[in-house]
Structure 1
């Protein structure tokens, strides 16, 4: 294999098997119990603006078969090199082509949600999953969440999403069984919004 030009990319998982398993369990717990905040706990180095939770999620979920879209805030040469080296994911220029999307600047690049693939009634799994970098996640306050995986209600405050997100999410939820799913990453913590969850502000 020919070496990559320029400096070597930052390392990925310190222990690829154990760290990917640990991250997968955290992501599974987050999406099974919306409103909870899980700590990834995997040792991972990645270039800015990737947070540890976002980087670990990409290493766990994305591979050479999953077209990945990057928003403008994530389109740095170091990020491109790191993703190609560790994930092998094909980077696509259009959000409509993505199976996964990395949104590092949600205030300007997250909406409208309907430009991401929502699948179709026969194949709702052909939708996009978004990994969104946010400033903070605080369980126990903020939005009221209800839906599958939530016994009564859950509370989750999210800093860094654009105005109008809750309305856009209601439109996404109305597409069920179609629709996109979100992982919200802040530092080494992650929360999930599956398409079935209702948000009340």
Structure 2
């Protein structure tokens, strides 16, 4: 890709081009896509990546695989400003996605480990005639098996679903209640930790257990 190569010296460009995406790009992406659809169909249920991919500095296994699957030239991605350059080069090379500086311009808001999650209200909410033009946040957390306990309910959940997570904002429930109130607008959420991930849709109800 000329735009990528021209911005790096030859050694850097060669190293970036050799960093793998998926071993079998079509089949592997389809597996991760199906797993992602299942995650959104069953909010809060913890799943494990069906396949792995190359992992640049700054991105976890789940973030790498999810972005390789979901991002493309038509889906702007936001990354923290000081994320390692290798992560940006990886996404440009394998996904061709635009990388934007403003959260509200992004289709996918990517929050790697160690970075604060942007406020949900600052992300793209969609438009009344195009609610699908909202953002999906993909957030890496320290743990999806320990930490605060959340009770989820709503579409896709038979009764309730328990989610344990470390690293979510202290005011997540208040933010999420406001997000629910925007339906059919509002954002969706993918939470990841290492090789595991789960989803929360804008219709999911969330309560924090004492």
Please state how far the C-alpha of 1:105 moved relative to its aligned partner. 4.6
Q: 2 CA distance for matches of 1:152 and 1:13?
A: 37
Please state how far the C-alpha of 1:100 moved relative to its aligned partner. 1.0
Q: Say whether 1:111 aligns with 2:123.
A: no
Q: TM-score, normalised by structure 2?
A: 0.88
Q: 2:39 aligns with which of 30, 46, 60?
A: 30
8 A contact 1:71–1:109 mirrored in 2: no
Please state how far the C-alpha of 1:179 moved relative to its aligned partner. 0.2
- CA-atom RMSD, angstroms? 1.8
Please state how far the C-alpha of 1:41 moved relative to its aligned partner. 2.3
Q: Say whether 1:41 aligns with 2:56.
A: no
Q: TM-score, normalised by structure 1?
A: 0.92
Q: 1:1-201 alignment to 2 at 5 Å? A: 2=2, 4=5, 5=8, 6=12, 7-9=14-16, 10-72=19-81, 75-105=83-113, 109-138=116-145, 142-201=149-208
- Structure 1 runs of 4+ aligned residues shifted over 4 Å read none
Q: 2 CA distance for matches of 1:147 and 1:33?
A: 10
Q: Which runs of 5+ in 2 are unaligned?
A: none
Q: Which runs of 5+ in 1 are unaligned?
A: none
Larger radius of gyration: 2
- SS state of the match for residue 125, structure 1? strand
8 A contact 2:81–2:101 mirrored in 1: no
